[in-house]
């Protein structure tokens, strides 16, 4: 019964947003909408975190669903300045998308801090440098290139390479086909190759003699 009341309340707030004229501020309605749906958003945060990102719940990050929810609420407030979902499904789909983006960002930052080399494309190498830094300059270039990918390609790349998920698992999380996941992964690798082509290992020289 509580779920039904939440659905009805969200529908009412979305209808109110749709009927606002250009002179009425939308943020109070958006805040009321998020506040009314916060329990369901919290459940979604906990479910996604525990199911697909359990390593973020362990040290050193020890991420809790409440912390994720706080970040997602901030993301939703900003996103809904531009995007106006018209149905309950679209609203919670938007929330789920921003949960994934937030978790992927956290996972990447955690890997950057902890690892001298993270799960980067196999096509490239980063030569060690004796600077004493935790990441070589080439590795930093790779990480910056990953961050510059379009959101959909970066999300798939992160899930496959950083989270070590299968294409089938990624397709289930994103609610798309495995073919779509493969296409986005291939495009991410193509874009990275364009940016980092000079880091590809040189072919072996033929033996002289």
The mean-pLDDT minimum among 48-52, 61-65, 196-200 falls in 196-200
Q: Please provide the distance, in angstroms rounded to a whole number, between the alpha carbons at the two ends of the chain.
A: 83
Domain ranges of the chain: 1-99, 115-201
11 vs 122, higher pLDDT: 11
Nearest to 18 by CA among 75, 73, 62, 84: 84
The torsion angle over the Cα atoms of residues 201, 165, 101 and 117, rounded to 10 degrees, is -40
CA-CA distance, 75 to 77, in Å (whole number)?
6
Nearest to 153 by CA among 101, 200, 84, 89: 101
Query: CA–CA distance from 35 to each of 3, 17, 32, 48, 197 (Å)?
Result: 14, 15, 5, 20, 48
- For 51-93, the pLDDT digits (tens) are 989 999 999 899 999 999 999 999 999 999 999 999 999 999 9
Cis peptide before 137 (omega within 30 of 0): no
Please say if the pLDDT value at position 204 is more than 70. no
93 vs 204, higher pLDDT: 93
Q: Tell me, which fold does domain 115-201 have in CATH?
A: Arc Repressor Mutant, subunit A (1.10.10)
Select, from the ranges 9-18, 109-118, 122-131, the one with the highest average predicted confidence (pLDDT): 9-18
Residue 93, both tokens: 């789909």
- For 167-189, the pLDDT digits (tens) are 999 998 888 999 999 999 999 99
pLDDT at 133: 45
pLDDT at 208: 46
Please say if the pLDDT value at position 1 is more than 70. no
Q: Name the band, by pLDDT with cuts 50, 70 and 90, for residue 198.
A: confident
For the whole model, what pTM was predicted?
Answer: 0.76
The pLDDT mean for the chain works out to 85
* Residue 130, helix vs strand vs coil: coil
Please say if the pLDDT value at position 161 is more than 90. no
CA-CA distance, 139 to 75, in Å (whole number)?
29
Containing 50, the helix (H) or strand (E) segment is helix 38-52
- For 91-110, the pLDDT digits (tens) are 999 999 999 999 998 988 88
CA-only gyration radius of the chain, Å: 21
pLDDT at 139: 73
Q: What is the DSSP letter of 160?
A: I
pLDDT at 121: 54
């Amino acid at each position: 019964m509580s779920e039904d009341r939440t659905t009805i309340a969200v529908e009412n707030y979305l209808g109110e947003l749709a009927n606002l004229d250009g002179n009425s501020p939308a943020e109070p309605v958006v805040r009321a909408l998020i506040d009314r749906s916060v329990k369901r958003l919290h459940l979604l945060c906990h479910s996604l975190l525990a199911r697909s990102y359990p390593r973020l719940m362990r040290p050193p990050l020890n991420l809790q669903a409440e912390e994720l929810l706080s970040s997602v609420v901030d993301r939703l407030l900003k996103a809904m300045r531009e995007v106006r979902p018209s149905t309950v499904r679209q609203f919670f789909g938007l929330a789920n998308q921003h949960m994934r983006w937030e978790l992927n960002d956290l996972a990447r930052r955690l890997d950057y801090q902890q690892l001298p080399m993270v799960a980067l494309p196999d096509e490239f190498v980063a030569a060690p440098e004796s600077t004493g830094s935790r990441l070589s300059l080439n590795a930093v270039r790779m990480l910056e290139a990953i961050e510059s990918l379009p959101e959909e390609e970066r999300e798939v790349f992160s899930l496959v390479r950083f989270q070590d998920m299968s294409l089938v698992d990624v397709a289930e999380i994103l609610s798309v086909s495995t073919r779509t996941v493969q296409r986005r992964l291939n495009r991410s690798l193509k874009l990275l190759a364009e940016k980092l082509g000079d880091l590809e290992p040189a072919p072996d020289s033929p033996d002289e003699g």
